[in-house]
Every structure is written in C-alpha cells, then in structure tokens.
Amino acid sequence: MSTKIPSQESVKLRRYHKKWLEDLSANYWKKNAIEVSISMKSLISTRIEVSPKFSFIDTISAFGGLGGFLIGASLVTVIELAFFFRDMASVFANALAKFFKSEQQNCCVPKKRKYGNT
C-alpha cells in the first residue's frame, strides 16, 4: 500500500479554501460588514469607595458574635455547663465522703486474726 502526498482529499480541500478566500474580496466586505465605534463622553471617571468605620466596641462585639457562632456558645449552653460542673462536684464530694467514712470506720476496728496464729 502506498500513500500519495498530497492526497486527493487535501487537494480538494485546498481548492475549496482558495475559492472561498477569493470570494472574500473588498466588495464582499463592503456589502456585508458593519463598523461599530464605542466611545466615552469623557476619559475621566469618578470612583466612589465606601468603607464602614468600626469602633473598638464594634470590633469586640463582632469577634464575640463570630466566636459565639463558631463555638455554639449561648446562654443556655453556659447554664448547662454550670449545672454539669455542679453535678460533677457533688458526685466527687459524695465519693470522697464515702471513702473517708469507710476509712474512719476501719481505723478503730481491730483486725481479725486467723486461728492458729498467736
């Protein structure tokens, strides 16, 4: 099998493009083209920039608001944490009282000896 360069298809394609380019003459463009011109009234433009002014209190409250939003800390959560720590302290205090009560009872009771040992 042999390949001819340029192939018949590429020759046909070149002829088509050549004919198409010849059709795009100056008269064609004069009949079918439009010129669009966009211009501004003045080259000077005004830029208005608005930036909010924050006071120190506004900044602190913004950080507090973001912190509360991100952590999810609300008044209810703080109250729940207070109750939780109160309950944990109560449980710990009861456990300590029970431990010291049992130690106090065991300190005065003589130990039982096994039989046969004197």
Distance CA 82, CA 90 (A): 12
The answer on pLDDT for 116 being more than 90 is no
Distance CA 16, CA 6 (A): 15
Specify the pTM.
0.31
- Per-residue pLDDT at 8: 65
69-101: b or e for each residue (b if 16 or more CB lie within 10 Å)? eeeeeeeeeeeeeeeeeeeeeeeeeeeeeeeee
Task: Band the pLDDT of 89: cuts 50, 70, 90.
Answer: very high
- Where is 27: in which H helix or E strand? helix 26-32
Phi, psi torsion values for 3, nearest 5 degrees: -120, 130
Distance CA 114, CA 118 (A): 9
The answer on pLDDT for 62 being more than 80 is yes
6 prior amide bond cis, ω within 30: yes
Distance CA 30, CA 108 (A): 122
Please give the angle made by the CA atoms of 73, 78 and 81, to the nearest 5 degrees: 115
- Per-residue pLDDT at 33: 74
Question: pLDDT above 70 covers what percent of the chain?
Answer: 61
